[in-house]
Structure formats: C-alpha cells, structure tokens
C-alpha cells in the first residue's frame, strides 16, 4: 500500500461544496480499491461493500428509499453515521444496476454521505448492459498504473524524488534520473508488480506476477464477450495487442489474422472500454480544439509498458541500452512517454492525438499533440538532438504555434530554432523522464525571451 497521486484529487472532491458521488474508473488491478482504503483514513467511518459477493447487493434490490438503504447498511456494519463523516465505498458496482441507479438519490437525498463507486468490469457493464450513470449526478476520476513519480515514491527513493520535483531539474541528477526511469520502464507501473519488486529487488522474480495479471485479463474475456465467437476474436486481439503497441494499426487482419475490420474494431473498442488498451487517433488540427479523425488508422497503446516488455520479450534489451529510443524501432520510448501523458489528467478519459499531414506528395507525423493554454504544442520523441525534425517544422509552418518539445535521453536545453522555411520557434529539449512535469517546463519555455 503506497500513496497514489489520485489521492490528492480525491481530497479535492471531498472538500468540494458541489460534491457528487464519485465513480473511480480504471482497468483491473491498477489499485482502485487500495486507493479508496488509503483515502478512508480521512473519515470517521468507513463502510466498504463488495457488490460481487453473495447477498451484498440484495439491499439495493428491495426498492426501498435511499435513506432506508443507507440506514440498513450502517446497521449491518455497526456504524453510527450521525457521528462524524462517513465514506461509503461500493466496489464492483457493475454487479448491481440498482446500486448504480441509487447514486442519484444519494446525491439528492443524502448529500452529507460521501459515496465512491468502482468496478473492474464497470466500463464493459455500462456498454453491454446499457447501464447509465445519472447524468449530472456523479463525478468521475480515472486511475492508471503508477506514474514515474509514484514509482519513485513507492520504492522509497526519496532523494531521487526530491531532485525529480526540483525545478528545473539539476544537471548533476540527470544520469540517476535516467537510470531510474529505465528501471521504471522495465518494471512498469502495475501496483502488484511494483510491490513484488520492492520485496525482492529482483526483476527476474516478477514473472509469476506478470503471468497472473495477464491471465486475469484473459479470464475476463468471457465476461466481455456477447457470445463464444466474439470471445475468440477478443482473445486474439488481447494477445496480439502488445506486439502492435506503439504502432498505427489497421483493423482488418489485425495481428496477422483473417478477422474482418468490423470484428476487430468491435473487439478493440471493448478492450478500450476495459481500459486495457487505448486507441490514439490522428488529427490534422494545428490549433484547438484538437479534432481526432476517427476514419484514419489509430495508434495502439497497451495498458502498461512493463507488461508489454514482459509479454513481447523486451526486458533484456531494456537492460542493455542507455537510450530507450535505440531499440525496438523507438516504439518503447514513445510508449512510455504515452503512458506518462495518459495519466496526466485523471479528470477525463479523453486521450491525446498525434498529428498527421497526409498529402499525396509528402506525409508528416508528430508523436503527440498537447493542449496547453491557448496553444497546441507538438511533441516529438527522438533519440537525440541531431536531426531535422521535418514533421515538427511542417507543423510550425502550418500553425500559429511557436513552441515545440522534443523528449529524449539528453539534458534539459532550450533552443531558438528556425524551420527550413525560416519560421522561428522555441524548441524545448526535455529528458523523457520529466514527461509528467511537461506543462511546468512548457510554461518555463514560454517565459524565456
């Protein structure tokens, strides 16, 4: 049990005068239940109900007023709600649609009760069972595997964490931070894996945990699928996804199969609802709002880079290289940067786009587009500072933006650059271990003359 960044967001939720029941959403095994348990220390009373357990959901199925439901829950758990603040946690809420419906009445009738709901198959149930949350009556937070900052905190490397949070990051700490970031990239951010590493300090001893996690995802396939045929396609897509991670994909024939576009598209969208993968779409936008082109081929992102390394067999290579961009066609560096960017904002499930200019004579592609204030900042993940950055320059020439970011293994540096067409812009060369602080460094870049 180690602190998670989402706890600060939950504290803000607790303190809000307009608080509504909170839905904590995320993939299986990312630490939702543990986070709520840690958060419960802020309350006088804590009631946790797993609605997947036999008999636990019956109280919501009796068609009673929500006031009576809550009193019955308190009585069963020996809690006097009148004494202090009470947190009610409804885990695996997808197992009881009546409990989902009751959230509206908790908001309307019992605003002084703090309610959090979560579920490992929640996203699937919402779609397949046509369960809908009461619109305007609930808040949402999204939870992901540990970020690099959370990893440093979890492993107890407080010295490295301190310099990581120092702004700007001191040059003397670069090698240490880079080494730790590579270790984080190797292990990943799944809480059980990180806990196993803390206990053993041996990456080779984690195979059983990786296998257990992947098996649990596969075992859920039957709960995702509408029928056995759909389950077969889903299982194939889940097994093929790590090998396609970081790449633009086509649905038809995905993973060297004979499956049609419609079958694969339905399966990948199901896995995305389960938050096991993310489909990042291209955009041709050069200013906000960034509009994804859902007709174009998306880039596939897997849940966790550590799981990806294990499944694909990249662990030895991560050990051997000092630059993540130096192997696996640079996809691993882009993938871990994507993982850090995805968890930047737990308030929304909206994901970043990448930029494309697909003209008949010359195409261009930029790894990520990042909204920042009134600008859309192009972000490239590169092996080093050398290179023309042709696509990035084309974006600058096509937009009013005069700021760009290159994430790489080198030192923090700010360049005053020009495109081949003579357009001046500022280029922030940022070590990729500082991705989670990217907005702070962009502000710094913009403030420099």
186-208 per-position pLDDT tens digit: 999 999 999 999 999 988 899 99
C-alpha to C-alpha distances, 195 to 2, 154, 180, 340, nearest whole angstrom: 9, 8, 16, 20
pLDDT at 60: 94
Q: Residues 312, 233: one domain?
A: yes
Domain C-terminal end among 143, 166, 201 = 143
Segment among 197-206, 321-330, 342-351, 369-378 with least mean pLDDT: 321-330
HSE toward the beta carbon, residue 202, CA cutoff 13 A: 7
| Range list of H helices, 220-260 | 221-224, 228-244
Q: Residues 117, 35: one domain?
A: yes
Q: How many structural domains does the chain have?
A: 3
Q: Smallest Cα–Cα separation from 49: which of 11, 87, 105, 10?
A: 87
Q: Kindly state whether residue 127 falls inside one of the protein's structural domains.
A: yes
Domain that holds residue 408: 353-447
Q: 3-state DSSP call for residue 340?
A: helix
φ and ψ of 420, to 5 deg? -65, -20
Q: Residues 335, 393: one domain?
A: no
Q: Kindly state whether residue 289 falls inside one of the protein's structural domains.
A: no
Domain C-terminal end among 122, 143, 164 = 143
Q: What is the pTM of this model?
A: 0.92
Q: Residues 26, 130: one domain?
A: yes
Mean pLDDT on 415-438:
95
13-27 b/e (C-beta count within 10 Å ≥ 16 → b): bbeeeebbbbbbbbb
List pLDDT tens digits, range 32-86: 999 999 999 999 999 999 999 989 999 999 989 999 999 999 999 999 888 889 9
Q: Give the list of residues 6+ apart from residue 449 with CB closer than 8 angstroms, or none.
A: none
Helices (H) then strands (E): counts for the chain: 18, 14
Which residue has tokens 């046509």?
130
Domain C-terminal end among 108, 143, 178 = 143
- What DSSP string runs through 372-427? ETTEEEEEEE-SSS-S--HHHHHHHHHSS--EEEEEESS--EEEEEE-TT--EEEE
C-alpha to C-alpha distances, 292 to 108, 279, 353, 357, 369, nearest whole angstrom: 36, 11, 6, 13, 11
């Amino acid at each position: 049990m180690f602190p998670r960044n989402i706890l600060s967001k939950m504290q803000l939720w607790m303190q809000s005068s307009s608080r509504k029941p909170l839905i904590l959403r995320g993939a299986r095994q990312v630490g939702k239940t543990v986070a709520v348990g840690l958060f419960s220390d802020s309350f006088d009373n804590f009631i946790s109900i797993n609605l997947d357990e036999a008999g636990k959901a019956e109280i919501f199925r009796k068609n009673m007023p929500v006031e009576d439901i809550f009193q019955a829950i308190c009585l069963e758990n020996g809690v006097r709600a009148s004494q202090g603040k009470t947190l009610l946690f409804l885990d695996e809420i997808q197992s009881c649609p009546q409990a989902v419906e009751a959230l509206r009445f908790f908001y309307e009738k019992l605003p002084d009760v703090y309610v959090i709901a979560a579920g490992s198959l929640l996203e699937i149930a919402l779609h397949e069972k046509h369960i809908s949350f009461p619109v305007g009556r609930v808040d949402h937070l999204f939870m992901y595997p540990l970020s690099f900052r959370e990893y440093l905190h979890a492993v107890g490397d407080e010295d490295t964490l301190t310099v990581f949070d120092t702004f700007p990051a001191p040059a003397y700490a670069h090698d240490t931070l880079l080494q730790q970031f590579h270790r984080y990239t190797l292990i990943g951010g799944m809480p059980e894996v990180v806990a196993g590493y803390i206990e053993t300090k041996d990456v080779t001893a984690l195979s059983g945990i990786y296998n257990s996690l992947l098996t649990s995802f596969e075992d859920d396939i039957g709960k995702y699928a509408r029928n056995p045929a759909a389950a077969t396609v889903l299982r194939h897509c889940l097994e093929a996804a790590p090998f396609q991670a970081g790449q633009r994909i086509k649905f038809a024939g995905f993973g060297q199969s004979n499956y049609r576009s419609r079958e694969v598209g339905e399966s990948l969208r199901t896995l995305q609802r389960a938050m096991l993968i993310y489909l990042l779409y291209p955009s041709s936008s050069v200013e906000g709002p960034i509009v994804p082109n859902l007709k174009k081929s998306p880039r596939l992102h897997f849940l966790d880079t550590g799981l990806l390394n294990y499944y694909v067999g990249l662990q030895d290579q991560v050990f051997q290289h000092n630059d993540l961009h130096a192997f696996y066609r640079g996809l691993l560096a882009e993938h871990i940067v994507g993982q850090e960017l995805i968890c930047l904002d737990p308030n929304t499930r909206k994901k970043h786009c990448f930029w494309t200019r697909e003209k008949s004579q010359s195409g261009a592609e930029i790894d990520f587009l990042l909204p920042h204030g009134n600008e859309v900042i192009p972000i490239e993940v590169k092996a080093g500072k050398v290179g023309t950055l042709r696509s990035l320059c084309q974006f600058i020439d096509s937009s009013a933006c005069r700021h760009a970011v290159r994430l790489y293994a080198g030192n923090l540096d700010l360049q005053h650059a020009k495109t081949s067409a003579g357009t001046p812009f500022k280029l922030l060369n940022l070590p990729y271990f500082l991705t989670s602080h990217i907005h702070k460094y962009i502000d710094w870049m913009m403030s420099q003359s």
